[in-house]
Amino acid sequence: MSMSGGSPGNSAEINVTPLIDVLLVLLIIFMVIVPLKPLGLRSSIPQGKPSEAQVLPPVVLRVLARKASGEVAYEVSGKQVASAELEPTLLAMFAAREDHTLFVEADRELSFQPVAEVIGRARKVGAGMVALEGLAK
pLDDT digits (tens, 9 = 90+) for 68-103: 777 888 898 889 998 889 899 988 888 888 888 889
With CA atoms as reference, report the closest residue to 126 among 104, 101, 103. Answer: 101
Looking at 10-19, 28-37, 102-111, which range is the least confident one?
28-37
Of 84, 66, 59, 64, residue with least CA distance to 74: 64
Residue pair 86/35 in contact (Cβ under 8 Å)? The answer is no
Q: What is the pLDDT of residue 137?
A: 59
For the chain, domains (ranges, CATH) are 59-134 (3.30.420.270)
Q: What percent of the chain is predicted at pLDDT more than 70? A: 81
What 3 state SS string does 72-126 have?
EEEEECCEEECHHHHHHHHHHHHHCCCCCCEEEEECCCCCHHHHHHHHHHHHHCC
Residue whose C-alpha is closest to residue 73's, from 28, 39, 110? 110
Let me know: does 91 contact 126? Beta carbons within 8 Å: yes
Looking at per-residue confidence, does 134 or 39 come out higher?
Answer: 134
Amino acid at site 119: I
Assess whether pLDDT exceeds 50 at residue 2.
no
How much is the pTM? 0.56
pLDDT band at 25 (very low <50, low <70, confident <90, very high): very high
